Amino acid sequence: MTRSTLGAALFLILFGNALNAAERYDGKAYGVVNNLCGSCHGIPFHLTKIKDDDEWKEYFQNEKNLIDSHKGKPEALKSIQSKKFVYFKKRIVKFFIENSKYSGKVHGCDADFCGVHN
């Protein structure tokens, strides 16, 4: 194996590992959930584990589900009706589904998150 071939192989291995790390979760959706929902629900990954993927789909399918579950909580209603939440809603739903109860995903420590899943 030549030096250039070895270098190319090493690059592909390192690049592949970087892609895997980047695909762990949607960092922007994580940040939006953390900012808008974290004060009540805590770490976003703990919130995603409350329901399985089908339950999250059903929950977000109807706007009334979100509003009804947050009645009597003005700060929460303000968050779910904010422009930011509405803009990122599709990404938030996808984030919740991809990291849901039976998704099999358990995240370790990285730059954005460090903690244990329940």
Establish if 20 belongs to a structural domain: no
Domains: count for the chain = 1
Q: State the pLDDT at residue 19.
A: 44
Please state the pTM of the whole predicted model. Answer: 0.71
Residue in 103, 115, 107, 117 with CA at minimum distance from that of residue 51 = 103
Establish if 14 belongs to a structural domain: no
The residue range of the domain holding 93 is: 26-98
Q: State the pLDDT at residue 21.
A: 45
pLDDT at position 94 over 90: yes
Establish if 76 belongs to a structural domain: yes
Taking CA atoms, 72 is separated from 17, 61, 75, 78, in Å, by 45, 21, 9, 11
